[in-house]
Amino acid sequence: MAGPRHPDDRWFWPAVALALLMALGYASIYYVEQTKDRSFASLPEATREELAELTVVAEASAEVEREWVKEGFGGEEYLTAPVGPLPCAGAADALPPRDRAAAREAIALHGDGDAETRIERLSTIADTEPDNLIVALVFATELIDAGRAAEADRVISQTLDRTQDDERVIAAARAPRTRLDLSDQNVSTVIHLHHALGVARLGQSGAAPPWKSLKNVIGSVKPLSNLRLIGTSRGAPSWSKLLIAAPGCTATGTASLSSYDLYNNLIAGYMRGGRFEGDDAMRQREFSRPPRTYPSPVRQLLDAQVERAKANGWQNESQLWALSNVEQLLDWRRPDDARLNLNAIQVLDWWLAGDRCPAEVCTPELRKGLAATKDELLEQAFLRRNVAPDQQRPFAQAVTRMLAGSNIPRTRIADAATAVREWLPQSQSSSLADLSAADGARSELPRWITGLAAEDAQPPEAPLGTRAAAWRKAADRDFAAAAATWGPGGRRASSGRCSSRSGSCSARRRRRRR
């Protein structure tokens, strides 16, 4: 608009703008100062140092992490041990003369041509020698390897129906002073054959229950350590790791079945089928154990569940037998078998879920003890990760899911987790990486909250990308819970996954005691 201007307009409006800016600036400074003065960062230095070393129990953040692996990381799936290796050429020599030619021919087919051709030729040999256990073993192994579990089941079942050799060996193995020739080869053949039958039945739905064959092999393993030495150590119990060479094979090692494989499949069979019922004598044999002064958490769980089963008419008996076998195995030592460890954790989880373990049985102390046992098993599973290539993906998915719910310091298995990530599909491997990153972030967070982190440091949750915001909110909640129970001098919560810059809960407790 044209016309004369008020002479004070030159300074008035800029001055008004400046005044508003000053007011806004003052408000900002006021806001920042007031909120900062009431944050953890404004607490005295000594207090902040103590809070930064606070042991934070991950509850809310662990719940968020479990959400990351809720979908697509498998469910209650029991991994089965594969069928054992094929017999060696020497297996035929130990057979009666009339059976040797067919056995030699069957064994010689190993690696000859494609699988279909071998199966056709083995079928012909088996038709001419229907009661030859070595032929049946080779034939069934080839069928199982080709994914034809139902046919393998039929082949082995028909052969076992025609002969009593296996029954005699099993019965003799259980007798303290047998006159039957319990050569390594005879016992090994029976074990491998029944194991193959178990694998075949576990590999198909609607098949006959695999328990008899699976239980038979365990029964047959016992003389291995009592009478002779296919296994690694004389006198070792069957639930320790015994290697059972394939028939005719002298060397143990890769061409061996392990007693862990046998236990693994027995446990998988009990859990998958869930219909096993024993009689009173069997139950007495299985569940009667000498009392312990300091029973393990698994033993306490088993004893309590056996008592409950007696009272409720042996509900969930099949799973109880699985738990009993897990207890036997763990009582000896933590198996160095990743598959077995994984299945053992799942059995424990099954018994801890829902109303299967009421509060009077599963006390907080027992649950804490069992959680520690599961953590040991999971750590061992990560570190060993000795599973067949075709089971690597389900194994990786299961251990990732379990890791999210465990209290293992993830830095301890960092290298193993990196290796396991390779087995996961691209879309899922980031979840395992995030679980590891979350553990690091959790230990850094107290220093960040208390303002003791380096000034140019990124927020600890930054590596979590799009998951960072939700995780941080939950982690703040965990820190708040820890801070609320903190008092000068350091009174601390003592359960659950812990994090502090200086290590695990136990390390903190040790330092505190010192």
- The residues binding other proteins (CB under 8 A) are 3-8, 12, 15-16, 19-20, 22-24, 26-28, 30-31, 34-35, 38-40, 42-43, 59-60, 449, 473, 476-486
| Smallest gap from residue 452 Cβ to other proteins (A) | 14
Burial zone of 471 (CB within 10 Å; 0-12 exposed, 13-18 middle, 19+ buried)? buried
Q: How many CA atoms lie within 13 A of 374 on its CB side?
A: 24
| Smallest gap from residue 512 Cβ to other proteins (A) | 20
Compare residues 416 and 483 and give the one whose CB is closer to other proteins: 483
Compare residues 150 and 483 and give the one whose CB is closer to other proteins: 483
Compare residues 215 and 472 and give the one whose CB is closer to other proteins: 472
The number of residues in the chain equals 514
* CA-CA-CA-CA torsion sign (456, 457, 461, 462): positive
Token pair belonging to 53: 């070393």
| Smallest gap from residue 45 Cβ to other proteins (A) | 15
Compare residues 21 and 108 and give the one whose CB is closer to other proteins: 21
3-state secondary structure 46-85: HHHHHHHCCCEECCHHHHHHHHHCCCCCCCCCCCCCCCCC
Q: What is the dihedral of CA 276, 278, 282, 284, to 10 degrees?
A: 110
* CA-CA-CA-CA torsion sign (71, 385, 256, 125): positive
Q: How many CA atoms lie within 13 A of 387 on its CB side?
A: 29
| Smallest gap from residue 196 Cβ to other proteins (A) | 54
| Smallest gap from residue 325 Cβ to other proteins (A) | 39
- What is the C-alpha R_g of the chain? 32
Tell me the C-alpha distance between 149 and 130, whole Å: 18
| Smallest gap from residue 53 Cβ to other proteins (A) | 16
Chain CA centroid to CA 506, Å:
23
Compare residues 83 and 445 and give the one whose CB is closer to other proteins: 445
| Smallest gap from residue 464 Cβ to other proteins (A) | 18
Tell me the C-alpha distance between 507 and 96, whole Å: 63
* CA-CA-CA-CA torsion sign (299, 300, 303, 304): negative
Compare residues 22 and 180 and give the one whose CB is closer to other proteins: 22
| Smallest gap from residue 402 Cβ to other proteins (A) | 25
| Smallest gap from residue 214 Cβ to other proteins (A) | 47
| Smallest gap from residue 41 Cβ to other proteins (A) | 9
Compare residues 26 and 414 and give the one whose CB is closer to other proteins: 26
Compare residues 22 and 414 and give the one whose CB is closer to other proteins: 22
Burial zone of 19 (CB within 10 Å; 0-12 exposed, 13-18 middle, 19+ buried)? exposed
Tell me the C-alpha distance between 88 and 138, whole Å: 10
Compare residues 2 and 454 and give the one whose CB is closer to other proteins: 2
Token pair belonging to 476: 């703040």
* Closest by Cα among 236, 251, 194 to 219: 194
Compare residues 336 and 476 and give the one whose CB is closer to other proteins: 476
Compare residues 15 and 251 and give the one whose CB is closer to other proteins: 15
| Smallest gap from residue 67 Cβ to other proteins (A) | 16
Q: Which residue has the tokens 């409720």?
A: 312
* CA-CA-CA-CA torsion sign (190, 192, 194, 197): negative
CA-to-CA dists, residue 414 to 56, 90, 260, 323, angstroms: 21, 45, 26, 30
User: Are the C-beta atoms of residues 64 and 405 closer than 8 Å to each other?
Assistant: no
